[in-house]
């Protein structure tokens, strides 16, 4: 399978790089998702939604009957 020490070294380096890419990709996914949740939580503290503006399904039916 492996004929010399240099091939073993090359396979080791390939595995090392693939693992490094996986760890970097996992870290980026984790950091972006956690920062998104943190930012959305902070924005929700300051952004006030008027409950009258949010239309629910039952409210729309009542408005249709009034018109």
| Of 19 and 49, more confident | 19
pLDDT at res. 26: 87
What are the residue ranges spanned by the domains of the chain?
Answer: 5-66
Q: Give 49's Cβ-side CA count (13 Å radius).
A: 7
Q: How far apart are CA 63 and CA 25, in angstroms?
A: 49
Arithmetic mean of pLDDT over the chain = 76
Tens digits of per-residue pLDDT, 39-66? 777 777 777 666 666 666 665 655 556 5
pTM above 0.75, yes or no: no
Question: Using CA atoms, how far apart are residues 41 and 47, in angstroms rounded to an integer?
Answer: 10
At residue 41, the pLDDT reads: 77
Instruction: Please enumerate in sequence order all residues whose Cβ is within 8 A of that of 55, keeping only pairs 6 or more positions apart, or say none.
Output: 63
């Amino acid at each position: 399978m492996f004929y010399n020490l240099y091939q073993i070294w090359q396979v080791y380096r390939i595995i090392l790089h693939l693992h490094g890419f996986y760890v970097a990709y996992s870290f980026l996914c984790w950091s972006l998702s956690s920062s998104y949740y943190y930012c959305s939580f902070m924005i929700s503290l300051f952004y006030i939604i008027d409950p009258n503006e949010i239309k629910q399904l039952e409210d729309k039916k009542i408005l249709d009957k009034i018109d």
